[in-house]
Amino acid sequence: MNKCIFMGRLTRDPEIRYTQSEKPVAVINYTLAVDRRYKREGEPSADFINFVAYGAAAEFAEKYFKKGTKLVVVARCQTRTYTNNEGKKVYVTEFIVEDQEFAESKRAAGGEPETEKDGFMQMPEGEELPFN
């Protein structure tokens, strides 16, 4: 099984790009600052984990995620290699997003609440959600 679960805050606003294929696919990269459970003197108190999301998940992240947003991300770990411009082989380990959710309400994050009296955020009419 290849499943990792992280909770942390976005280090910057995600920026979307599209593949150069016949049917372009949305791709987004973002980094979460994930607090370490045990903090030792002289060591960092957080790890900075890089994620990649595709398709509807990427478009959702671009639209709703902002620097400082607290998220829970379920991802799978993937490794790949490529040869850089200097002819050296580069090894990359990345986490591919399978599910992503807000870990706190907008009100708790210090933003303006966008809720009705039942506590749910109103989605724009005709908006499709990237999950079932």
Q: Convert the pLDDT of each residue in 17-50 to its tens digit.
A: 999 999 999 999 999 999 988 877 878 789 999 9
Angle at the Cα of 54 from the Cα atoms of 82 and 13, rounded to 5 degrees: 95
Percent of the chain scoring above 90 in pLDDT: 70
Please give the residue range of the domain that contains residue 36: 4-102
- Summarize the chain as % helix, strand, coil (round to 5): 10, 45, 45
pLDDT greater at residue 130 or residue 69:
69
Q: Is residue 122 predicted with pLDDT exceeding 90?
A: no
* Residue 105 pLDDT: 75
Residue 50 falls inside a structural domain: yes
Percent of the chain scoring above 70 in pLDDT: 80
Its pTM surpasses 0.85: no
Residue 120 falls inside a structural domain: no
Residue 116 falls inside a structural domain: no
